[in-house]
Amino acid sequence: MSRPSLTPVGSTYGNWKILEKSDYKTSGKNQTVILECLMCGSKRSTWLSNLRQNAVKCYDCHSKAKLFAKSLFEQKAFLVCYPDRVDIIHSEEDLPAGVTAFRVVSEDMALPMVVAPKAKPDPDYGYEAFLAVPYDYIDFYCDEVNLDTEEMKKAMNLYNTLVERPNNRLSKHFKGSRSSWVENGVKMGYIYWKDSITWPKKPAEATPVPETLETLPNVDPDPLVTFPDDPQP
């Protein structure tokens, strides 16, 4: 009884799905296989031994990867690596601190770099109030661009969470100098007020906890001191 094949038709090996195999008896010592790339769906044929040695390359994926790498190099891009994703950043000023970042220096190489923390800038002077918001929402809040439906809902939900609107009216907002910084991987900026129709909500103040025997610091009382004239206990 012959051993079952470790690479039967319909199984996957690496990034490939095996669609067809030549008959072993008529193929000599090596079989040919027809494969489908799991990444792009393109098909190609090769020797089974090449597949087992991980020596099969998808020409379509390789070509796209080369073009993508060339584009990153031409744009002088930066790569920021998170546990679940890789972000492409096009300006060094937008790089967040405290993450692993790489500078693309050629079509085949990216070098690690240390990103110095960027201080949060002070808001501009001359306005009634200001509020820190995601940078991508500033133009929307200032009535200069529209967002798609889902992003508009997110932007308005955030606005209603952070802003007092006693008359259900909207203030006109201004962009100021458009200074920016990065918080938790999100580029932030300020919007400004010149009226008092609405205003930013004040952060909730912590309620003071009254001191009780449980909350008082655990300090030993002063030791008992006796004086010569005092009777001894």
Q: What is the DSSP string of the chain?
A: -PPPPSS-TT-EETTEEEEEE--TTTSTT--EEEEEETTT--EEEEEHHHHHTT----HHHHHHHHHHHHHHHHTT-EEEE-SS-EEEES-GGGPPSSSEEEEE-SSS-EEEE--PPPPPPPPPSS-SEEEEEEGGGHHHHTTS----HHHHHHHHHHHHHHEE-TTS----EE-TT--EEEETTEEEEEEEESSSSSEEPPPPPPPPPPP-TTTS---PPPPP---TTSPP-
Please indicate whether residue 114 or residue 214 has the higher confidence score (pLDDT).
114
What contacts 121, CB < 8 A, 6 or more positions away?
Answer: 179, 180, 181
pLDDT band of residue 1 (cuts 50, 70, 90) is very low
User: Higher confidence at residue 185 or residue 161?
Assistant: 161
The Cα 55–Cα 9 span in angstroms is 19
Question: Around 45, how many Cα atoms within 13 Å sit in the side-chain half-sphere?
Answer: 7
pLDDT at 130 over 80: yes
Q: Mean pLDDT over residues 21-46, rounded?
A: 80
Average pLDDT value for the chain:
81
Asked whether residue 35 carries a pLDDT value surpassing 50, the answer given is yes
At residue 12, the pLDDT reads 87
Please tell me which residue, 218 or 142, carries the higher pLDDT value.
Answer: 142
79-88, 130-139, 190-199, range with the lowest pLDDT: 79-88
Higher-pLDDT residue of 5, 201: 201
Supply the pLDDT for residue 16: 87
For the chain, percent of residues with pLDDT exceeding 70: 80
The pLDDT of residue 183: 82
Write the CB contacts of 36 (distance below 8 Å, at least 6 apart in sequence): 16, 17, 19, 42, 43
118 has pLDDT over 90: no
Residue with tokens 């909350």: 215
Q: What is the mean pLDDT of residues 83-102?
A: 78
Query: Is residue 86 very low, low, confident or very high in pLDDT (cuts 50, 70, 90)?
Result: confident
pTM exceeds cut of 0.75: no
